Amino acid sequence: MLGAFTGLTALGADAARPQDGPGAAASAETTPRARPVITPTPTPTPTPRPAAWTPAKLTALETPVRELSQLSPAPPPNSIALTLDDGPHPKWTPRILDLLAEEEVHATFFIVGEQVKEHPRITRRIADAGHQICNHTETHPMSIARMPEKKVRREIVDAHDRIADATGVVPRFFRSPGGAWSKTVLELTAENDMLPIDWAVDPRDWARPGVRRIRKALLKGKDGNILLCHDGGGDRFQTLKALEDAIPKLKKRGLTFIAL
C-alpha cells in the first residue's frame, strides 16, 4: 500500500508580507516563511503473486520449444532469437547489454534466482532495456531432471518469485539447466504458466572453446533459430567478442533479432 503523506500548505501571501511602519523589520524577522509543498515519493506497488499460484493454463509439452515456428503467434519471417543464460553477471552482463544496445538488438535472458538476489540492479537494467526475462531456476541444478518433484517445484517457484519481485515481470518462459528435461520438469513448467524453451544452435560458449569456434557456430544460425549463449556462469570474454562479430553479420543477411 502506498504510504500516505500530508503535504505542508504554504502560508498566504498577505500573512507572509511584513507590515509597513516602525515594526516592519521585526515583523519580517518573526513571520514564518512559506514552506514548499512536499510531494511524497511513491512506494513501489507490490508485485502480484506470480503464476505459480494461479490455475494451470498450459498443457505440458512433450518436448521443449526449439524453433521460433513452435511459438504462437508465429514470429515474422527472417527472425532469429538470441538467448543468454546463467546471469546476471556483474561484469559480463552490462558489457553484453551495451553491445545489444549499440546493435539495437533485443534478446532473451534466462536468469538464475540466486544471481538476481546478488545483482538486482543489473536484473532491472535487463528488463528496462526491453529484453525478455525468463526463469532459469533458483540455483541452476544440473541434476534437475533427476530431482524429486518437491525440489523441482522449489527451484522454479523461488526463481519465479524473485524475478517478479525484482523486476515486476512474471516470466513466461523456462529453460532447464543444461537442457535437462523430465516429465516432472515439463509438467511444473506448464503448471507455472510458462513454455519450456530449448535451442537450435549451441556454440558451447560456456566451455570457452575460443572466439573463432563460437563465432563460427553462431553464424550457422538461420531463420527461425534460437541461439544459445551465456552472459553468466564464468568468464564470458569469448562470448562477448564472438557476438560483436556475429550479430552484425547475421543482420547483414537480412535476419532480425527478436525476443521470445
Catalytic residue among 119, 131, 136, 230: 230
Catalytic residue among 20, 85, 140, 158: 85
230 a catalytic residue = yes
| First-to-last C-alpha distance (Å) of the chain | 33
Question: pLDDT band at residue 11, thresholds of 50, 70 and 90?
Answer: very low
Architecture (CATH level 2) of domain 61-257: Alpha-Beta Barrel (3.20)
CA nearest neighbour of 179 among 209, 208, 159, 199: 199
Distance of CA 137 to the CA centre of its chain: 13
Domain locations in the chain as residue ranges:
1-44, 61-257
The model's pLDDT over 28-65, given as tens digits with 9 standing for 90+, comes to 444 444 444 444 434 334 344 444 434 446 789 999 99
- Look up the pTM and report it: 0.79
CA nearest neighbour of 51 among 154, 168, 159, 170: 170
Question: pLDDT band at residue 79, thresholds of 50, 70 and 90?
Answer: very high
- Give me the percent of the chain exceeding a pLDDT of 90: 75
CB 83 within 8 A of CB 260: yes
The model's pLDDT over 136-167, given as tens digits with 9 standing for 90+, comes to 999 999 999 999 999 999 999 999 999 999 99
Distance of CA 213 to the CA centre of its chain: 28
136 a catalytic residue = no
